[in-house]
A = this chain, B = another copy of it.
Amino acid sequence: MGVPAKEEGADPRVRMWEPVGRAVALLLGPYAEVVLHDPGTDRVLAVWNPFTSRGPGDPSALGELAALDPAARDVYGPYEKVLADGRRLSSVSAVLRDAHGEPAAVLCVNLDRTPLERAAAVLSAFGAPTVRRPEPLFEQDLSARVAEVVGGHVRATGRPAERMTRPDRLTVVARLDEAGVFAVRRVVPVVAEALRVSRSTVYDLLADVRATSERS
């Protein structure tokens, strides 16, 4: 594929769908982020109301969308994502096709549900009897969760862990990092084994993921 567009508006796809992205971002107020991805280069084409400091040209870390369940034609979700700061997002993605029916871009809408959930908690707590709900439990078995993420990506790409490419592993590690998995003790060897790489490589991948995500 070609060189990703750096300037907003330079890419004809951005010009074509810019009103859509802007309109959705306007409609959903400050709590929705709209991202236009290039599925070929796996990079961001444009962002409206960005949650993080991502901008055009940055990696998408969403490359596996094209290989997702083909039963749901071109529209995926809503599914849940978790940012590093704990915000929970509801996300939907749509594959946008050109006149020849070829995938030209992927539109992602991420809705921050945190304020809604906070408001819901306020409402249901209002005047509530003193009975306190038990705490939601943490995921007890970390390795199961890690295996789930890795297995999901394997299923999405059809590549077993041994034959994964580096972008594959970066995607998986990025997801695990978003989920806060690396805050847990003793988890790096578990991830290393699940990805069939060495402990060193996990740290290397993690450094890469965090470097590209913190770019501003």
Q: Which single member of B129, B142, B180 contacts A140 (CB below 8 Å)?
A: B180
The residues of B that contact A131 with a CB separation of less than 8 Å are 79-80
Cross-chain contact A138 with B185 (CB below 8 angstroms): no
**Cβ of A139 to closest chain B Cβ, rounded Å:** 4
Interface pair B123/A116, CB less than 8 Å apart: yes
Copy number in this complex? 2
Residues of A whose CB lies within 8 Å of any CB of B are 77-80, 82, 84-86, 90, 111, 113, 116-117, 119-121, 123-124, 126-142, 145, 148-149, 152, 156, 175, 178-181, 183-185
- Apart from A137-B139, A184-B185: 18 A-B pairs, beta carbons within 8 A: A78-B130, A79-B131, A79-B133, A86-B138, A86-B140, A113-B127, A113-B128, A134-B145, A134-B148, A135-B136, A135-B137, A138-B181, A139-B180, A139-B183, A142-B183, A183-B184, A184-B184, A185-B185
